[in-house]
Amino acid sequence: MKNQLYIYNTLSRKKELFKSITPNRVGLYVCGPTVYGDPHLGHARPAITFDLLTRLLTYLDYKVRYVRNITDVGHLENDGDEGEDKIAKKAKLEELEPMEVVHYYTERYHDYMSKLNVKSPSIEPRASGHIIEQIEVIKSIINKGYAYESNGSVYFDVKKYNQDHPYGILSGRKVEDLMNNTRALDGQSEKRDALDFALWKKAAPEHIMRWPSEWSDGFPGWHLECSAMSKKYLGKEFDIHGGGMDLLFPHHECEIAQSTIDNGKSPARYWMHNNMITIGGQKMGKSLGNFITLEEFFTGNHDKLERAYSPMTIRFFILQAHYRSTLDFGNEALQAAEKGLNKLMDAMNNLEQLVTSKESDVDVKALKEKCLTAICDDLNSPILIANLFEGVKIINSVLAGKQKISEEDLVYFKDLMHAFVYDILGLEVETSQDAGNDEKLDEVIHLLLNMRTEAKANKDWAMADKIRDELQNLGFIIKDGAEGATWELK
């Protein structure tokens, strides 16, 4: 029985029942990073949100083609005309070849996403590798009369587009309002109208990243790559387009306009936008310079961090909030997330050791229903997690002998806990730093714990406590249970 998935569509500003264009298949496009800086907490949010979505879709038996681009060209620093390419700027700054910058930060991005247990997308196309496709889209738009060349650059004619297609359907803006309120910027002489956006930019002589075209040696405008690449890999119309809320306007609005002209239809049926992570109530982002990189989180190497936080803590922290809400960063919140996660993962570990009874006094089927309903309701991971903590309660109660579970129920229960915790939420057990030494370490600790048990048997409390306290000083947590003591590293 397949559950029905509801997702909030930015186009309608409502939750809608998800129906894929092709049965059992989903085409998903998500705007990826511009690789000119280290990945920060803000990058983790869309990555984890859409990782959760693909994991859920897979669980629901959809075959997902997930395309997430790498922007390595065409993102301009300021307004389209006088701006400088970000990658080129960084390259100049660090005296590197632009592709060196791209390569370095792409690898960093992959590294950190994989630490967060974010699965690699199906295809990860780069803007620089799709110049030809982008030029083709520009030609198509010019041929249809919605773009014009000016001084070697090509611009999209928003005013003309708006005459027969509403420009602003996604963001809820009106062209008239935009006209009245768009700031007058320098160097717009090339454009017929301030709202027009660049499809192709003629490169200034000192500009390093350039490609030949019939208009000029230049580079594609920054909205274009997503249109060209989504079309190439997902077709003219696909299911879901995702990205951060900050891309809603103008980026996604422009994508819709370009693709609508190019293909005669709007590219995506569902538009999903994740909200921002805030710090002190403000968006954490590049422009404000208030971001904390993932490396800094993992090492604790930042003024605002009281200590290091593990990748799974970060993942759990993000999943504990709904993706459409802002999430405020804070040490207290992160530490709370860490403890909650530990409690959950401890229980997952204990789940493997539960003893079954003839009958059950737990309702694991109802629990599964609740979990599924929650996550299928526009990815409500906070509710799902709340439900999973009910599962934790069951595990601990059975372990403590206060509740009973049958063999049959336990199989079902394990299956559901594994599915939601590991497969869908993508949480994984984090082993201590020296995973290779774990086995030996375990033997040594158990040796000590056995000595402690002996001491306890002899009522030598001083010795027993000494062993425990010394171990604790070294960072080991000793838990006395009914069947002897267990340990873990803090």
Site residues for RNA, window 55-84 (CB under 7 A)? Answer: 71, 75-80, 83
Report, in Å, the least distance between residue 196 CB and RNA: 11
Is residue 278 close enough to count as binding RNA by CB under 7 A?
Answer: yes
Per CB under 7 A, the list member of 26, 27, 29, 34 interacting with RNA is 34
Structure tokens at 337: 């997330």
- What's the CA gap between 52 and 423, in Å, rounded? 9
**By C-beta, is 194 or 208 nearer to RNA?**
194
**Among 3, 16, 25, 37, which residue interacts with RNA (rule: CB under 7 A)?**
37
* Segment contacting RNA by CB under 7 A, of 92-100, 229-237, 276-284, 301-309: 276-284
Residue 305, Ramachandran bin (φ over 0: left; ψ between -120 and 50: alpha; else beta): beta
CA-wise closest residue to 251 among 276, 271, 231: 271
| DSSP-based three-state secondary structure for 10 | coil
269 versus 370: smaller Cβ distance to RNA:
370
Residues 184-203 that bind RNA (CB under 7 A): none
Position 285 contacts RNA (CB under 7 A) = yes
- Residues 106 and 403: their CA atoms lie apart, in Å, by 50
H helix or E strand, kind and range, residue 198: strand 197-202
Among 380, 405, 416, 424, binds RNA (CB under 7 A): 380
Encoding tokens for residue 418? 């594994």
Q: How many CB atoms lie within 10 A of CB 407?
A: 11
448 binds RNA (CB under 7 A): no
CB of 182 to RNA, least distance (A): 5
DSSP state of 128: G
- Give yes or no for residue 177 binding RNA (CB under 7 A): yes
Cβ-contact 116, 314 below 8 angstroms: yes
272 lies in the binding site for RNA (CB under 7 A): no
Burial of 448 (0-12, 13-18, 19+ CB in 10 A): middle
Q: Is 212 left (phi over 0), alpha (psi -120 to 50) or beta?
A: beta
Q: Interacting stretch for RNA, rule CB under 7 A, among 90-98, 425-433, 442-450, 458-466?
A: 458-466
325 contacts RNA (rule: CB under 7 A):
yes
Q: 129 vs 382, which CB is nearer to RNA?
A: 382
The DSSP output letter for 484 is E
Site string for RNA, 340-359 (x = CB under 7 A): x--x--x-------------
Residues 222-241 that bind RNA (CB under 7 A): 222
Smallest gap from residue 390 Cβ to RNA (A): 7
Q: Does 385 bind RNA (CB under 7 A)?
A: yes
Report, in Å, the least distance between residue 183 CB and RNA. 5
Binding of RNA by 373 (CB under 7 A): no
Segment 294 to 323, residues that bind RNA, using CB under 7 A:
320-322
The residue range among 206-214, 231-239, 245-253, 420-428 that interacts with RNA, by the rule CB under 7 A, is: 245-253
Instruction: Tell me how far, at minimum, the Cβ of 23 lies from RNA, in Å.
Output: 28
Among 61, 164, 206, 332, binds RNA (CB under 7 A): 332
- The verdict on whether omega for the bond into residue 267 sits within 30 degrees of 0, i.e. cis, is no
Please answer whether residues 161 and 257 qualify as being in contact, where contact means their C-beta atoms are separated by less than 8 angstroms: yes
Q: Is 281 helix (H, G, I), strand (E, B) or coil?
A: coil
228: number of Cβ within 10 Å? 26
169 and 176 in contact (C-beta within 8 Å)?
no
Q: Is 400 in the site for RNA (CB under 7 A)?
A: yes
Closest distance of CB 278 from RNA, Å: 6
Residue number with CB closer to RNA (215 or 316): 316
Q: Does 247 bind RNA (CB under 7 A)?
A: yes
Sign of the four-CA dihedral 212, 215, 221, 223: negative
d(CA 55, CA 119): 9
Q: Is 326 in the site for RNA (CB under 7 A)?
A: yes
Number of residues near RNA (by CB under 7 A) = 93
Phi-psi label, residue 79: left if phi above 0, alpha if psi -120 to 50, beta otherwise: beta
Q: Are 86 and 102 in contact (CB under 8 A)?
A: no
- Using rule CB under 7 A, residue 107 touches RNA: no
